[in-house]
Structure 1
Amino acid sequence: MSLRIWSKACGNPSGRCLLTSVTLCQLACKVQPLRNSNKGPSMALISRSCSGFLAQLSSLTHHKAFSVSAATAAIQKMTRVRVVDNSPLGSTPWHRAPRVIHVYTKNGVGKVGDRVLLAIKGGKKKALIVGHKMPGKRMNPRFDSNNVVLIEDNGNPTGTRIKVPLPTHLREMEGDYSKLLAIASRFV
């Protein structure tokens, strides 16, 4: 990935700079053109003081955790989730966070109210999404974590209490998850 932003603020005589920040641009533009009879002024030598800084900048942009894109999907495969009920499987500490291994929707992206299959403590368990980080439709809350409630195959919740508030629009699905809504104490 290369960022190309042309700026005249750096003081470079050509007015072209490949860095985004003006201060970085001023450091990097302390170059001395090399005159070669065959190649012209296309080669440049960067001073030693900013070469290490540029190496750090390039390692930052090529790092795996560096992302400038917005969230494109709510919950999909390999998404880490947080179990928010008091079921025995969800309340015991685990070495690895539970991950989604299948989403039961047409496009493979789960929103609030969709069923997912989790890999939790070396086993598989079905769950219902009750909150996610991605902003949803208007007037739907956005949560700090991707929250799920463990359910059985018939749709009954495994636990007896839900620790976090649930979105109010889950009440529209009352026929499917009436027992889940009965054990919820708060709605947002």
Structure 2
Amino acid sequence: MNVAPRMEKMMRCGKSMHLHTSASLQYIQKQTRLRVVDNSQLGKSAMLEGRPPKCIHVYNKTGFGYTGDKVLVAIKGQKRQAILTGCHQDQKPLVPKFDTNNIVLIDDNGSPLGTRIHVPIPTMLRRKLTDMSRPKGADYTKILAIATRFV
């Protein structure tokens, strides 16, 4: 079967072959769907309903999020802050790539809403989260304390 005449006919009719030509995203940005990996009540109920949280803001200068960045998410009609603990994008050397974009929900002072993290988190987060913690501000080292496995 010759494909060229059929493709030529489709192009004349204005139809395309529906081939994906864009590259996969290399970062987290607005409207990206995320997966809650802690055992917070809000995160569990949103994931069971099939309505995962969406990123609505990334707290850095570029607006693109990477592993360890703080994001604002919309989850079940609420705005919550979260820390990216694993990304699906291609990573730098010695940083693991995950199957999904994982987050841990936090409150205003940096404490996690859940008491346990179900997936392994990258060891590079130890250095990044301790650098982000402030004596009178947010304390992100509590996320490292509730994590049970590191990659």
TM-score, normalization by structure 1: 0.67
Q: Which has the higher contact order (CA 8 A, sep 6+)?
A: 2
Which residue pairs with 1:160 in the alignment? 115
Which residue pairs with 1:89 in the alignment? 42
C-alpha separation in 1, matches of 2:148 and 2:20: 37
2:95/2:122 contact within 8 Å kept: yes
2:84/2:103 contact within 8 Å kept: yes
1:73/1:109 contact within 8 Å kept: no
C-alpha separation in 2, matches of 1:53 and 1:166: 51
After TM superposition, give the deviation of residue 126 of structure 1 in Å.
0.4
Matched, 1:183 2:138: no
1:121-140 deviation line (CA, Å, top 9, x unaligned): 01110000001110111111
Which residue pairs with 2:32 in the alignment? 79
- 1:117 pairs, out of 51, 60, 72, with 72
C-alpha separation in 2, matches of 1:127 and 1:105: 13
C-alpha separation in 1, matches of 2:20 and 2:8: 23
1:81/1:146 contact within 8 Å kept: yes
Q: Which runs of 5+ in 2 are unaligned?
A: 134-139
- 1:170 pairs, out of 92, 114, 125, with 125
Task: For 2:15, give the aligned amino acid.
Answer: S
C-alpha separation in 2, matches of 1:142 and 1:112: 10
How many residues get paired?
Answer: 140
After TM superposition, give the deviation of residue 185 of structure 1 in Å.
0.6
Task: For 1:91, give the aligned amino acid.
Answer: K
C-alpha separation in 2, matches of 1:111 and 1:59: 34
Distance 1:174 1:122, change over 3 A: closer
Q: Which runs of 5+ in 1 are unaligned?
A: 1-21, 29-49
Alpha-carbon RMSD across the aligned residues, in angstroms, is 2.4
1:165/1:185 contact within 8 Å kept: yes
After TM superposition, give the deviation of residue 182 of structure 1 in Å.
0.7
Structure number, greater radius of gyration: 1
After TM superposition, give the deviation of residue 178 of structure 1 in Å.
1.2
1:94/1:121 contact within 8 Å kept: no
Matched, 1:24 2:41: no
